[in-house]
A and B are shown apart, each in its own frame.
Chain A
Amino acid sequence: MNKALSLKKIFKWLTSNPKGFSSVIGTTFMVLVVMLLSSSVFLWTLSQNTLYNEAVRDKNQLEADLLNERVRATEGSYTVYGDGNVLVSTQVRNLGPLAVEIVNLWLMNVNTERYNFTESLNINLQPGENSALAINVSLVGSTAEHTFTSWFVTRRGNVVPIEAASVDEEEAVTWAKLAEGIGSIVFNFSTFRYYTYSGNKLGNYPEGNPTFRIPYGETIAFGFMLTNQNPYQEAITFDEETLMWSYFPACPGHENGPFWHIANVNPDGSINATYTPITLEWGESKLIVFAKQSGGWKVQQRNSLGAINLLIYGTFESGMEYAQNIPFVSVYAYD
């Protein structure tokens, strides 16, 4: 009761004393202004720290993505065409959890110490995706006898070396045993593709159309990777008689389809008029194209499934003859 009374007295004295009242108001305003200023500075500093933390988080994410990127390029092989055009063929697999964009391919000739690259590849690989690539790089002064090394660069800045097609010792023994029984040339199913062409030029070479469903027509060519697994580790040269032929069992009386001859293809996709023998070194994988459709029935049977056989004829580097029939794939010719 006394306390309330004294407060009332203080208030009365304060309100009746203009000087005392104004100093209270002044102090209150000052405190408010100081609090406002300091809190705004504090909040602004906090927002700057948030920006910085976000940048750090983005950077960490970038680093994590970079470390998580796992691409493997295997079965690398190099085919030299004409004056220093090198076709780099490889199997690329995205083993990581992130999509990967390949932006560049670098190629170096170990013998001449020259190098070149292809810009703006823009190859996108989803997680787990496997892709057979064949990319041309111009490298003046290169010949088939030269040794090459190559690597991809991804958009995130990782470098992916292309591992050369090689067979380890244990695998080589297995392959050798197998090759002795069924033949030295091995076909890679996943690299099968067809091309359409006008005149003598293949469209979209060397990528082509990777499918077993082909359009009915007379201007179709095929390409796929062949690997030499000869048990005696000899190179094999394909003779011009080497061809692939088709057989369409669902069309009685018209079973024999056309056949395609082995061909030399220039980097721009044009087919040479005359064939220069292609040699496959031991362990080497190469994109081989079969074009110049002819013989039998000129075109494939419409809307039918055909068996494709590969008839190889050539010589080992020792001079011995080599021949092999690979009943390797079936295609559906749609109209």
Chain B
Amino acid sequence: MKYRKLVRLLQNRRAISAVISNVILVGAVIAVSFVVLFWAQYRSSAYNQEYSEAVDSDIAKLKERLAFEYIFYNEDNDILSVYLMNCGTINDTTVETAYVSTSSGNLIDVFTDITLFHFNGSEISDQDLDISEEGYFVLSSFDDLTVGTSYLIKVITGRGSSFEQSFIA
């Protein structure tokens, strides 16, 4: 009985073409669905990564804090020594840029090539300040500051945090 039905199905061309077309259609739909699924997953994970990086970066910035222990201007050789301590809650705080300006905010000079030293004078090997680590940098070769006048120094870290302190030259 079953054998007869199968023979009849094979002999019926229309039925076979309907099955084949259905199989092809279903296959195509499944293939496209997988492509869409993988694309959606890729986009979703890319978004996750971007968002995660942005949040981590913001959190790291929030954890950064630098304290100015002392700022000393040596008028004899126009050198400004800035003593810092990392009093934040994150390691590897670097100093990328320093701005010196007048107390009213007029920019005097910008420094980008900054080398950090330990308080004992030796260079900090990793060029960053870990938690509670202290260090200083020296700014030289800039216009004379007037002794007894108030100035501002702004330090920008590698993570983009900004710390400002006034000092009297």
Residues of A within 8 Å of B85, CB to CB, are 103-104, 153, 157
Q: Are A37 and B40 in contact, CB atoms less than 8 angstroms apart?
A: yes
Q: Are A117 and B59 in contact, CB atoms less than 8 angstroms apart?
A: no
- CB contact between B48 and one of A44, A49, A155, A158 (< 8 Å): that residue: A44
- CB contact between A119 and one of B40, B55, B134 (< 8 Å): that residue: B134
- CB contact between B58 and one of A37, A45, A52, A159 (< 8 Å): that residue: A52
Residues of A within 8 Å of B38, CB to CB, are none
1/0 contact string of A9-50 vs chain B (CB within 8 Å): 000000000000000000000000100010001001100110
Residues of B within 8 Å of A44, CB to CB, are 48
How many inter-chain contacts with C-beta < 8 Å in the A-B complex?
A: 61
Q: Are A104 and B134 in contact, CB atoms less than 8 angstroms apart?
A: yes
Residues of B within 8 Å of A49, CB to CB, are 55
Q: Is A58 in contact with chain B by the CB < 8 A criterion?
A: yes
Segment 76-95 of B: residues with Cβ below 8 Å from A: 85, 87-89
Give the dominant DSSP class at B's interface: mixed
Q: Are A157 and B62 in contact, CB atoms less than 8 angstroms apart?
A: no
Q: Is A110 in contact with chain B by the CB < 8 A criterion?
A: no
Q: Are A62 and B69 in contact, CB atoms less than 8 angstroms apart?
A: no
Q: Is A55 in contact with chain B by the CB < 8 A criterion?
A: yes
Q: Are A115 and B72 in contact, CB atoms less than 8 angstroms apart?
A: yes
Q: Is A156 in contact with chain B by the CB < 8 A criterion?
A: yes
Q: Is B140 in contact with chain A by the CB < 8 A criterion?
A: no
Residues of B within 8 Å of A119, CB to CB, are 119, 134
Binding site for B on A (CB under 8 A): 33, 37, 41, 44-45, 48-49, 51-52, 55-56, 58-59, 62, 103-104, 106, 113, 115, 117, 119, 153, 155-159
Binding site for A on B (CB under 8 A): 37, 40, 44, 47-48, 51-52, 55, 58-59, 62-63, 65-70, 72, 74, 85, 87-89, 119, 132, 134
Q: List 15 A-B contacts (CB under 8 A).
A: A33-B37, A37-B40, A45-B51, A48-B55, A55-B62, A59-B62, A59-B63, A103-B132, A104-B85, A106-B70, A153-B67, A156-B87, A157-B65, A157-B85, A158-B67
A-B contacts besides A49-B55, A119-B134, 15 pairs, CB < 8 Å? A37-B40, A41-B47, A44-B48, A45-B51, A48-B51, A48-B52, A55-B58, A58-B63, A62-B65, A62-B89, A103-B85, A115-B70, A117-B69, A157-B85, A159-B67
